[in-house]
Amino acid sequence: MNRVLLLPLLLLACSDRDLCTEAPLCEDGRAINCEPSCLVGPCSTGPSSVACGEQAACTIVPGDLASPRFFRSRALCVEEGAASCDPATAGPPVCPGNGLIVGCSEYKRVIRAPCAQAVLYFTNIACCSGTGPVDGGTPDGGTSSDGGP
């Protein structure tokens, strides 16, 4: 009897949904993007996802069609209460030590993103690469897309 009940639950848990065809996508507090081809890595064969947390909200932001690097529209974790920003005049982004980078992105929004994908959103990623100070003054090479080390 338990096997009969288990089979429908397993079928519901499995999905043929292709998130890359839907990306960029905001769903359940997560920013979901897909990078099947890119001029600057990382490229991926599947969707990437980052939890926005309590201080950020997922927003779909259009890319800059004149930019060869930041032309794609993206699902971004935009910091709540932050106005649009100018990356040319803003200070460098910081890495709070949990595998994330936070700052004024090339998408002209203050966002949080995983260090593993920082190059897709920022031109200055020194705090993620370990060559610059993070918030607190020590290098951070975090790579988790879920904010963990």
Residue corresponding to tokens 């090479």: 141
Mean pLDDT of 21-38: 88
Look at residue 97 and tell me if it is in a domain: yes
pLDDT digits (tens, 9 = 90+) for 95-147: 998 899 999 999 999 999 999 889 889 999 999 976 554 443 333 332 333 33
Q: Is residue 102 part of a domain?
A: yes
The dihedral through the CA atoms of 44, 139, 61, 27 has a sign that is positive
Q: Flag whether 3 is in a domain.
A: no
CB atoms within 10 A of CB 18: 11
Q: Is residue 70 part of a domain?
A: yes
Residue 142, in any domain of the structure: no
Domain assignment of residue 101, yes or no: yes
Task: Count up the domains in the chain and report the number.
Answer: 1
> Would you state the pLDDT for residue 137?
33
For residue 143, being part of any structural domain is answered with no
Q: Does 5 or 56 have the greater pLDDT score?
A: 56
Q: What is the pLDDT of residue 73?
A: 94
DSSP 90-143: SPPPB--SSSEEEEE-TTSSEEEEEGGGGGGT-S--HHHHTSS--TTSS-----
pLDDT digits (tens, 9 = 90+) for 56-86: 999 999 999 999 889 989 999 999 887 789 9
Contact 148, 100 (CB under 8 A): no
> What is the domain extent for residue 112?
18-129
**Within a domain: 113:** yes
